[in-house]
Amino acid sequence: MTTGARIAVGAVLVLAMVGGVRGQEVIRITADDTPSLQYRIVTPRTITREKMDRSGTVDGQNWSIDLDLSETPLVKAMEHLKEIAAATPRGVTLVWDVQDMRDASLNMDWPVTAQAKGLSLSQALGLILPPEMDFEVHEDGTVLLGPKNFLPHDLTLKIYDVGEVLSVLTVPAAAAPAGGGMFAAPEPAENAQERLRCLIERTTMGGEPWESMGGRATIDFASPGLMLVSNSDEVHNRVVSLCKGLLVVHQARRAALARRLQATETAMEDLRAARRKLSDELRDVSLDGEPIGTDQGADFLLSQIRDLRHAVSRARMEMATRAADVEARTQVLAEARAEAQRRLDADTLFGATKRSLERQRNALAAMLNADPPADANEINGLRAKLDHEQSWLAMLENQLGDASRIGNMQNEINAAKVRHAQAAAQLKETEAALEAMNPRHAFERLDRVEELRRQQGVLDRRIEERQWLADSIRRQLDGVPEPPCDFSVPVMPAPAPGDAGE
């Protein structure tokens, strides 16, 4: 075959391959649907073998092979055919791995008998190779001989719509660790594609090795959500099973999360109902018919008892003060009365003294006007006596002036007695109010209020836990990344065992 003819044949092969790819249908992988059958892409092996068959029958002069073997050992028959294939114009190289033959326990001395003319290379190989062997044509034209289970598999290209699978595997960039350079968070789509590629390469063994492992099988992605896989049919079945399994598990997980969310919300509503019941009981605690507020009831109760006790103490002190005042004023009044009696006596003495003084004045005047005049010593004695009487009269006048305040003192005593009576009445009223409150019973109610508040705090914490859990489940259902942990606040405590939604 000339160079131009070979170029033409190559062009036909390329067009055939391209035409096969364009005829490919896309498999949409879902959790419930069974994927449709695929059109098979024409592989280089198939094209080459078909062309070799076609060329061998049409132009026996250039391509045909003649065989004349009789009881020839297999290894020698293969060597003979290798020389014929490598000769011009064919130029085909036959290769095989002796170790593979030994590992497969093939009998290399198996006798080969073949007499035929005008054969293609594929026909000749079909005649000399035992049933346990086959051949594979590589893209470079090399023909590999070996055990069937040791040969590379035919590669079939299939296109999958894996958009839903990628959405399951997508890791939001916000959830990836932050950093720069080689540690930067990948884009969500690329992240999901790489995860799916790794899952397929790790879990679908048994066919042609993947390109990342040195084989010919490939996995490529095209936007939006299209995955191109080239491998054996067996591997394709495993790819489909893997993708469907991912969707089934994801849907089961979402269903479990939804059930858990519903149970959590139900438990949270039960906790809220219990808290409302506690609040009603707190409001039912009353003091003298007045309801005690949920938040201020205990403080109100304590302040009432404390104020009443202080009022009783003040009333007792006031009453004692008023009693002492009355006693002191009464004593002063007694003293004033005694003084008044003395002053009464002084009043009588004052009159006598005043009359005596008047007589003495008259006697002195008579002595001064007498003719002949009276003795000077007598006159001076009378004057001295008159001065003494005058002084005693002034003292008596002062005493009589002080006695006029006795009435005022009595009025003050009466006012002190009134204030003492008022203080006693206030003390009695306050003691009655304190007794009506019944402090022992009030403190029992206060203890109940404190217990209800403690239970209310426990319920509040449990409601917060359920709310946090419900929000976390909703974020998982919506595919929203969890917020970063803030180690400056306490970690949410573990829910109590036996709670719904756990």
Indicate which CATH number applies to the domain containing 324: 1.10.287
Average pLDDT value for residue range 208-224: 81
Do 318 and 328 fall into the same domain?
yes
Any domain includes 3? no
- Judged by DSSP in three states, 75 sits in helix
Portion of the chain with pLDDT greater than 90, in percent: 7
Inside any domain, residue 157: no
101/188 same-domain check: no
Is 90 exceeded by the pLDDT of residue 79? yes
Is the same domain home to 330 and 392? yes
Last residue of a domain, one of 437, 468, 487: 437
pLDDT, greater one: 341 or 460 = 460
What per-residue string of b and e applies to 36-60 under the rule 16 or more CB within 10 Å gives b? eebeebbbbbebbbebbbebbeeee
Same domain? For 253 and 132 the reply is no
- Considering the domain architecture, whether residues 215 and 98 belong to the same structural domain is answered as no
Q: Rounded mean pLDDT of the chain?
A: 70
In a domain, 15, yes or no: no
pLDDT over threshold 70, residue 80: yes
Phi first, then psi, for residue 125 (nearest 5°) are: -65, -40
Eight-state DSSP code of residue 489: S
- The closest of 308, 318, 310 to 418, measured between CA atoms, is 318
Residue 405's pLDDT band, with cuts at 50, 70 and 90, is low
Q: Based on the fold, state whether residues 433 and 323 are members of the same structural domain.
A: yes
CB 254 within 8 A of CB 435: no
Residues 326 and 405 in one domain: yes
User: Does 389 reside within a domain?
Assistant: yes
180 in a structural domain: yes
The per-residue pLDDT for range 16-33, each reduced to its tens digit, is 333 333 335 567 666 555
Shared-domain flag, residues 254 and 333:
no
Same domain, residue pair 141 and 168: no
Tally the domains of the chain. Answer: 3
Q: Which one of 437, 460, 479 terminates a domain?
A: 437
- Quick one: DSSP state of residue 210? B
Instruction: Answer whether residue 61 is part of any domain.
Output: yes
Q: Whole domain around residue 381: which residue ranges? A: 297-437
Distance CA 325, CA 313 (A): 18
Question: Distance between CA atoms of 95 and 112, rounded to whole angstroms?
Answer: 19
Q: Which residue has the higher pLDDT, 371 or 263?
A: 263
Q: Which amino acid, residue 353?
A: T
Residue 7 lies in a domain: no
Distance between CA atoms of residues 498 and 65, nearest Å: 83
Express each pLDDT in 266-290 by its tens digit: 988 988 888 888 887 777 665 444 5
Average pLDDT over every residue of 110-124: 88
Residue 314, pLDDT score = 77
Q: What's the token pair of residue 9?
A: 């044949």
Distance of alpha carbon 490 from alpha carbon 319, whole angstroms: 57
Question: Are 250 and 301 within one domain?
Answer: no
CB 166 within 8 A of CB 243: no
CA neighbours within 13 Å on the CB side: how many for 35? 23
Task: Out of 259-263, 285-289, 298-302, 304-308, give the one with best mean pLDDT.
Answer: 259-263
| Highest mean pLDDT: which range of 64-73, 81-90, 347-356, 491-500 | 64-73
The domain that holds 134 is classified in CATH as 3.55.50
Helix crossing, 188-203 with 233-284: angle to 10°?
120
Query: H/E element holding 219?
Result: strand 218-222
If asked whether residues 141 and 124 sit together in one domain, one would say: yes
Average pLDDT value for residue range 112-133: 88
> Using CA atoms, how far apart are residues 174 and 185, in angstroms rounded to an integer?
8
Q: How confident is the model at residue 496 (pLDDT cuts 50, 70, 90)?
A: very low
pLDDT of 500 strictly over 70: no
pLDDT tens digit sequence for 140-186? 778 888 887 677 666 788 999 998 888 888 755 444 444 444 434 44
Taking the C-alpha atoms of residue 152 and residue 215, their distance in angstroms, rounded to an integer, is 9
Q: How far apart are CA 346 and CA 348, in angstroms?
A: 5
199 CB-contact burial (10 Å; exposed 0-12 / middle 13-18 / buried 19+): middle
Q: Is residue 250 part of a domain?
A: yes
pLDDT at 367 > cutoff 50 = yes
Domain end among 150, 178, 201 = 150
34 in the same domain as 177: yes
